[in-house]
Each structure stands twice: as C-alpha cells, then as structure tokens.
Amino acid sequence: MQIVVTGMGLLTPFGTDINQVFEKLLAQENAVKDIESFPCEDFPVRFAAEIQDFDPEEYIPDKKKVRQTARYIQYGMAALEGALEMASLPDDSLDPTRIGVLVGSGMGGIDVFQENVIRGHARGPRRYNPFFIPMAISNMQSGFMALENNFQGPNYSISTACATGNHCIIEGASWIERGLVDVVIVGGSESPINESGMGGFAAMKALSTWNDDMEAASRPFDRLRHGFVVGEGSGILVLESLDHAKKRGVEPLAKFMGGGMSCDAYHITSPHPDGEGGARAMQIALDQAQLLPEHVDWINAHGTSTKQGDLAESRAIYSVFKNHGNDILVHSTKSILGHSLGAAASIEAILLIETLRRGVLHPTKNLQDQDPEIKLSIVKGEPMEKKLEIGMSNAFGFGGHNSSVLFSNLP
C-alpha cells in the first residue's frame, strides 16, 4: 500500500503560508528576535524564534473556545486550517469514523500550567481555572481538532520530546496500513516560550546565550556552536492511501516511504556519543522503504546546534551511509527557525516535502567554520538547486527517542 501526503499546514515565526516560509528559508531571513511574551531582563537567555502578533480568533472564531484552549492548541488549529484546505477536507463523502487524529506535543500547555500553579499558590485552591486540566494536557490538541471537525476515528497523542512529530507520522501511516482509518491527521504543536520553558532549558545549559548576537546563535555543525535556540509553532500533515486519494480526486503531494524509531537507552538528555540510536533509526527507515543509502538525495538533519547532538548525528550518518556519507547533502532548518521541540519534526517534514517539490535546498545559516570533526557535505551559503527524488528527515529527543522518516516525489 502506498501512503501519500495530501495536505500540509504549518505555523512558524514566518507565518502560515508554506510558499512564503520557504522563500524566507532560502533567503536566510531572521526568525530569532527579542522575546516579547514575558519580561525576561533577568533571564540568561532573552531571545527565541517566537511567534509574535498571533491572533487565535483567526482560527478559532468562538471567543469562548479561545479562552478554553492553551496556546499550543491554538497554534495547532492554525496549522490544521491550511492542511485541511489543501487536502479538500472536510469531505462529506467520507465516513467520519474513518478519519483519525494523531497530533502530539512535547510540553503541552506549559503556559497554562505555570499560570495556574502561581494563581493557586498565591490566591488559594478556589482560584484555579476550571479549564486548567483540559487546557494543559497534551492529548487535548488531537481531541480539540476532532471535536471541531467531527473526526470520530482513532484519536490520541504522542509526546516524545523533539521526536514527537516523526513518531506521529510513522504511527499514523501504520493506522492506514492496518485498515484502522482512511485518512489521518498527524503532526506536532508547541508553545514553550514562557518563564518556565525558557528558565528550565536555560538552567540545563542547553541554550545559546548569545544575547548580543542572537541572529548568529543557532549555528548547527559550526565549531562555535554551544546550544540551541528555542522556537515554537505547529506542523500538520494529512495522510491517506494513494488509491483513496485518487478516489477523492485529490492530488498527492509526496509519498511516505517509511520511518524508523529507536532508543539510545544512554542518558536522559545527551545522545549516545557515537550516534548508535540515531543510526539504527535511519537504517530501519531505509529497510522499511527498501532503499539503499545511495538512493537518498539529502537529509534534513536534526541539527540543533548543540555540541554533543550535532557530532553524534554526524557520526550516525556516516555509520549508515558509509562512503555515501561524503556525498549526501545535509542541511538544518533549525539554523533559521530555531528548535520548536515537539513541533519541529512535523514542520521539517513539511519543508522537506516542499524541498522535494521545488528541487532547491535552503542553506544552513550561520555555518562559518565547520567543526573539523564533522565532515558532512552541508549546504551553506546559497540555496542549491538539484534534482531531488528522496529525502530523509531526522528527529532525536530527550529520553533517547530517535526517529527518521523518508519521503519521495511521486512518479
């Protein structure tokens, strides 16, 4: 059975228009700015790839529902709108019990959690928002999407940190293969830019602290990299079988070739130094797709701009691709959009598909002095036009969660 993508929608600091977002990636425009959502003068990190001037009522017209949803849910609804429109959904000819939703989040409603803990502690237990729990729990993204669109099929969420979006894509495709659904909505959504999110990551020493040179802070594979830049947003894809898409008269955008998953079982936050788990995920994806390494044209790397992570991923790529590792092209979207955690993998899958469709690779921003231990052929400087057939996207998360997905152009 051939699984295809028939709809894509995203929300990034560059907006929701996929064409516009892609053009800004090609131009290496800046998504990293001073944080506006909370006072952060005393924080060690005062910048992020933040979504600013967002109006949730554009995507959730009911003001009451806006007040009852966390920011990450509102972000997901913004991305969902574009995906459904592209896939010609809702479709009255479809059985709603055969439409599933599998959209996850790494941190869920952390903003709502923070607000209510402070309020309850300061003003007493009767001051908690009655919608606190349904706003904060990470499965409510999938639940709210279904509720608003009458999607009655299987519905749950996956929360595997930065690997969330890829895990949702892989598992959602399996629902179609197992005959559980005809259509599945998959992806991830994240809104982590608040005191708790930024303070927690900063305390871990996971973030770049280049407050005086924030535009250059996210620099995957560069010798001076020293931490990631927090981003936020959402990426939503619509999957169905090729036969089902043809019956509906919907034009497929790309083919899902396969996905791989593994666990490092090494450390709560650090990857295995040799990238063993990431290598297994990539190899499993290739095996599932029945592809050889030389069939893959390029890799959208996890590429977060951390010392250990980038080096481990480069070693993983060489482990799997061997001699082809010297030739396969690699780039990192996080160099421009930052790291949107549970939303990153699905956003990057969408941009990988757009790259396939256009035949042009965006550069990795801020790569000025490539780490001599990382000998990959990394796209930098200017966009690269190239005939592309198959692309791989990696996503590795805290907890040792590794994932890799493959997409191809349709013949």
Of residues 244, 272, 302, 362, which has the active-site annotation? 302
Please say which residue of 197, 215, 248 terminates a domain: 248
pLDDT for residue 150? 97
Using the predicted structure, report yes or no on whether residue 60 has a pLDDT greater than 80.
Answer: yes
pTM above 0.85, yes or no: yes
What gap in Å lies between CA 192 and CA 107, rounded to an integer? 7
In the predicted structure, residue 327 carries a pLDDT above the cut 90: no
The whole-number average pLDDT for the span 326-349 is: 97
Q: Are 140 and 73 in contact (CB under 8 A)?
A: yes
Q: For residues 292 and 319, state if they share a domain.
A: yes
Q: What are residue 79's phi and psi, to 5 degrees?
A: -70, -35
The boundaries of the domain holding residue 382 are: 258-408
Helix axes 18-26, 344-358, angle to 10 degrees: 80
Which of 162, 167, 362, 401 does the annotation list as catalytic? 162
With a cut of 80, say whether residue 30 has pLDDT above it.
yes
Burial of 156 (0-12, 13-18, 19+ CB in 10 A): middle
In this structure, the answer to whether residues 184 and 329 fall within a common structural domain is no
Residue 227 lies in a domain: yes
* CA–CA separation, 34 and 262 (whole Å): 36
Which residues face 378 on adjacent strands?
330
Token pair recorded at residue 308: 């250990």
What average pLDDT does this structure show over 311-317? Answer: 97
User: Given CA atoms 200, 202, 204, 207 in this order, what sign does their dihedral have?
Assistant: positive
Question: Do 41 and 65 fall into the same domain?
Answer: yes
pLDDT bucket at 326, cuts 50 / 70 / 90: confident
Q: Is-catalytic flag, 302? A: yes
Query: Where is pLDDT greater, at 28 or 326?
Result: 28
* Residues 141 and 95 both lie in one domain: yes
**Under DSSP, is residue 196 helix (H, G, I), strand (E, B) or coil?**
helix
pLDDT at 323: 80
Mean pLDDT along residues 19-33: 97
Active site residue 167: no
Residue 329 pLDDT > 80 = yes
The total domain count for the chain is: 2
> Does residue 339 have an active-site annotation?
yes
Rounded CA-CA distance 57/69 in Å is 11
Q: Are residues 206 and 310 in the same domain?
A: no
Mean pLDDT rounded to a whole number for the chain: 97
Chain center to CA of 350: 9
Q: Which among 244, 331, 339, 362 is annotated as catalytic?
A: 339
Cβ neighbours for 184, distance < 8 A, ≥ 6 positions apart: 99, 100, 101, 102, 153, 154, 172, 173, 175, 176, 238, 239, 240
- Distance, in Å, from the CA atom of 309 to the CA atom of 303, rounded to the nearest integer, reads 7
pLDDT, one tens digit per residue, over 202-252 is 999 999 999 999 999 999 999 999 999 999 999 999 999 999 999 999 999
- Which residue spans within 242-385 are E strands per DSSP? 254-263, 298-300, 329-331, 360-361, 377-378, 384-385
Q: Are residues 78 and 51 in the same domain?
A: yes
Q: Which helix (H) or strand (E) holds 353?
A: helix 344-358
Give the model confidence (pLDDT) of 239-285 as tens digits: 999 999 999 999 999 999 999 999 999 999 999 999 999 999 999 99
Question: Any idea what the CATH number is for the domain that residue 73 is in?
Answer: 3.40.47.10
- 229 and 367 co-located in one domain: no
In a domain, 220, yes or no: yes
The contacts of residue 308 (CB under 8 Å, 6+ apart) are 270, 271, 273
Q: What is the arithmetic mean of pLDDT over 353-375?
A: 97
Rounded-to-integer distance, Cα 145 and Cα 77, Å: 7
Residues in the chain, overall count: 411
Residue-wise pLDDT for 392-404, tens only, equals 999 999 999 999 9
Using the 3D structure, point to which of 248, 274, 296 is the last residue of a domain.
248
